Structure 1
Amino acid sequence: MNTTALGPDKLRGYARLGNLYFFDPHLFIFAGLSLLPTAVLRDGWNWISFVLLSAGYFLVHHATAAFDDITGFKDGSDARNYLGNPSYLRKAESKPLITGQLELHEARWCAWLCAVVGVALVLTGFLLAPHHPVWLIVFSFVAILLCVQYSYGLNLSRYGGQELVLFFGFGLPVVVLYALFTGTIAAVAVMESVLIGLYSVLVSMYSNLNDLEVDRNNGRINLATTTDERGYARVVAALAVAEPVVAIVFALTTSVSWWYPIALIPTYALRIVQYRKGFADRDPLLARQYGRRIHELGVALLVLVNIFALH
C-alpha cells in the first residue's frame, strides 16, 4: 500500500465510505448503556464486554454503509442522486467512490475488513458477557448477517427488505445488550428497541421519497417504489403515529414508566413538521434531515428518562 492510501485525504474517504459522520445509527449504544442496572455497571469486566460489543456493532454498521456505497457506485444510482441532483443537504463529497477519493478495490477492502473484525468483536463481547444464551447469540448473528447483506450479496434493500433490515439492524442491539448483561428481557428495553428502529426507518423513508425515480429505474423494491404517492404518505404517517402509540401501550400494559411517553412529546411534534416538509412542501431531503435530528433528540430523551427512572 502506498503512502497516499494512509494520508489524511484517504482516511477521510474511508470515514465517509462508512458514513462515520452520520452517527445516528450508533446512538443505540447510549440507550443500551443507560438501561443497564447500576450493579452491572460497577463490574469492570462488564465494561470490557460492553466496549467490545459496541465497537463490533459500530464496525458492522460501517461495513453495511460501505457495501451500500459500493452497490450505489456500481449501478450508477449514487452518481444520479448526488451528482445529477446536487443539494446542500446531499453533497457528493459524502460519496468517496463517485468523487474518486477511493478506488473500488479500496472500498471493498475496507468493507470486508470492518465486517470481519466487527463480527469477531461482537462474538468476543458475547462470550465475555455474564449471560449468553445460545438462542440469543444465533438470533443476533442472523440479524448482523442480514444487516451486512443490506446492499450487497443478497442485496436485501433492492428486494423489499430495506425497511426491515434498518428496523432490526439498528434497534435490536438495545434489547440484545440488556439481555446479555442482565439475563432477562425487560419491557423498557423492548420498547426502546422498537422506538430506535422506527427512528432509523423514518430517516431512510424520506431518502427513498427523494430517490424514487432513480430507484424505480434501477428495479429497487421498497415501500416508496411499490406504492403511489398517497399510499406512501399514509405508510409514513402510520409509522410516525406508531411512535407515541408504542410508548403509550407499553406504559399502559407493562411496568414502563409514564415518563417515557411524556418526555417524548417533543419528538411527536417534530414528526408533524417532518411530514409536512416531506409531503406538503415536497422537500424530502429537508424532511430526512429532520428525521436525523428527531432520532438524536429521541435517544437523548430516552437516556435521560432511563437515568431518572432506573437509577
Structure 2
Amino acid sequence: MTTVAATRGKAYFRLAKLDIVDYYLGVVVVWTLLAPAARFDSGVLASVGVFLLGEVFVIAAMVALDDLTGYRDGSDITNYSPDDPQRKRYRKPLVAGTLDEGQVLRFAWATAVVGALLWLTAIAIAPHRPVWTVVLIVVTYFFSLQYSWGVKLSYHGFQEFFIAALGWALVLAPYGLASGEFTGFALAQALLFGLGPLLFGVYSNTNDVDGDRRVGRPTVAALTSPRGNMFFVIAVSAAEFALIFAVPALGGPWWFPLALLPTLVARIWQLWLGFALGDIMRARLLGIRIHRITVLSLVVVNLVVIA
C-alpha cells in the first residue's frame, strides 16, 4: 500500500507540474519591488504568501485540465509518443496510465476550489485592495480554468497571449495587494517576466506542431509555415529586447539593459540553437534557464535600486 500511495503521489505531483516553478518566481520579483520597510511587514508577507499558495493550486487545476483535454483529443498521445525520447511520457500521468480521467478531473476541481479560497483570503488580509488588482485576480482565475477547458482559449488562437498574460498578472496582482500601486517600473518587470514562459512555450509548440495540427489547436507554429513560425519567435524575442532597452524610460535605472545583458546574449543563442541548428528541445530547455537568469537579474536590480 505504501508503494502504491507513493506512486500515486508522484503521479499527482507530475500532474500539477510542481517541478516547473517558473511562474511562482514572480513573487520574488514582487518582494524586491517593495520598499525595504514593506518587505518584512507582517501583512505584506501574509497576503503575498497566501497568494503564492493559491497560485500553486490554481495553476495545478489549469495544467490538470489541460492534460485531460490533451489526452482526450489525442494531442498528448501524439506529442509524447514512445519513440520521442525528448518528451518523457511519465510527465503526463494520463498518457503514462498512472492516473485515470476521473482522478484527474476530481483533482482539477479540488485544486480549483482551494485556489479560489486562498486568493479570496489573500485579498481579504492584504494591506491594499485596489479595484484593478481585485479585478485582475478574478479575471486571471476565470481564464486560467478556461485555458484548455470550457471555452478552451488555447484552442481558439489565444495560447501564446495567455502564456505571457498569466505571467504579467502573477506579478502585478500580488504587487497591487502588497503596495496598492501601479508603476511603470513594476509594469515593465511584469511584462518581462511574462515573456519568459512564452519564450520557452513557443519552442514547445514548434516541437508539438504535428499533434496540435491534428486536433486543430491553433498555435502560431501550427497555423504558419516553419519559416513563418521562426519569424514569429524572432519577433517576440525582439519585443523582449525592445522592452529591456525601454525600461529606463519607465522608471528604471539607466544601466538596466547592462544588468540584463546575460538575458540578451542567451536569447540570441537560443534563437541560433533552435532555428539555425534545428535543436528545438535544447532551445526550449535553454529558454527555461534564461527565464530564471532574467528573474535573478531583476531581483538584483531591485535590491540595488530600491534600497
Shorter-chain TM-score: which interval?
over 0.9
Name the residue aligned to 2:119.
122
Equivalent of 1:262 in 238, 246, 258 = 258
Q: Distance in 2 between matches of 1:276 and 1:85?
A: 26
Equivalent of 1:143 in 127, 137, 140 = 140
Correspondence 1:34-49 to 2 at 5 A: 34-49=32-47
Correspondence 1:45-84 to 2 at 5 A: 45-84=43-82
Q: Which runs of 5+ in 2 are unaligned?
A: none
Equivalent of 2:10 in 9, 12, 20 = 12
Equivalent of 1:25 in 17, 23, 26 = 23
Deviations 1:213-268 (A, max 9, x none): 111111111211222222211111111111121021121x2321133321111111
Q: Which amino acid in structure 1 is aligned with residue 216 of structure 2?
A: G
SS at match of 1:292: helix
Q: Distance in 2 between matches of 1:24 and 1:197?
A: 10
Equivalent of 1:245 in 242, 246, 250 = 242
1:5/1:133 CA distance change after superposition, 3 Å: farther
Q: Distance in 1 between matches of 2:6 and 2:255?
A: 45
Q: Distance in 2 between matches of 1:111 and 1:284?
A: 30
Once the two structures are aligned, what percentage of the paired residues are identical? Answer: 36
Q: Distance in 2 between matches of 1:144 and 1:163?
A: 17
Most deviating of 104-113 and 135-144: 135-144
Equivalent of 1:282 in 267, 278, 286 = 278
Q: Distance in 2 between matches of 1:239 and 1:103?
A: 37
Equivalent of 1:99 in 92, 96, 99 = 96
Q: Distance in 1 between matches of 2:205 and 2:244?
A: 26
1:259/1:109 CA distance change after superposition, 3 Å: farther
Query: 1:6, CA displacement in angstroms?
Result: 7.3
Name the residue aligned to 1:235.
232
Q: Distance in 2 between matches of 1:187 and 1:229?
A: 36
Q: Which amino acid in structure 1 is aligned with residue 39 of structure 2?
A: L
Q: Which amino acid in structure 2 is aligned with residue 158 of structure 1?
A: Y
Name the residue aligned to 2:300.
304
How many residues align? The count is 307
Name the residue aligned to 2:189.
192
Cα RMSD after superposing both structures: 1.6
Query: 1:139, CA displacement in angstroms?
Result: 2.7
Q: Distance in 2 between matches of 1:38 and 1:266?
A: 26
SS at match of 1:213: helix
- With structure 1 as the length reference, what TM-score do the two structures score? 0.94
Kept in 2: contact 1:204–1:288 (CA 8 A): yes
Q: Distance in 1 between matches of 2:165 and 2:179?
A: 21
Query: 1:4, CA displacement in angstroms?
Result: 6.8
Q: Distance in 1 between matches of 2:23 and 2:127?
A: 26
SS at match of 2:197: helix
Deviations 1:7-55 (A, max 9, x none): 1111110010011111112111211111111221232122111111111
- With structure 2 as the length reference, what TM-score do the two structures score? 0.95
Most deviating of 35-44 and 96-105: 35-44
Deviations 1:73-130 (A, max 9, x none): 111111111124422x421111111111111111111111111111111111012111
Q: Distance in 2 between matches of 1:112 and 1:7?
A: 21
Query: 1:162, CA displacement in angstroms?
Result: 0.5
Q: Distance in 2 between matches of 1:5 and 1:121?
A: 31
2:196 is equivalent to residue 207 of structure 1: no
Kept in 2: contact 1:147–1:166 (CA 8 A): no
2:107 is equivalent to residue 110 of structure 1: yes
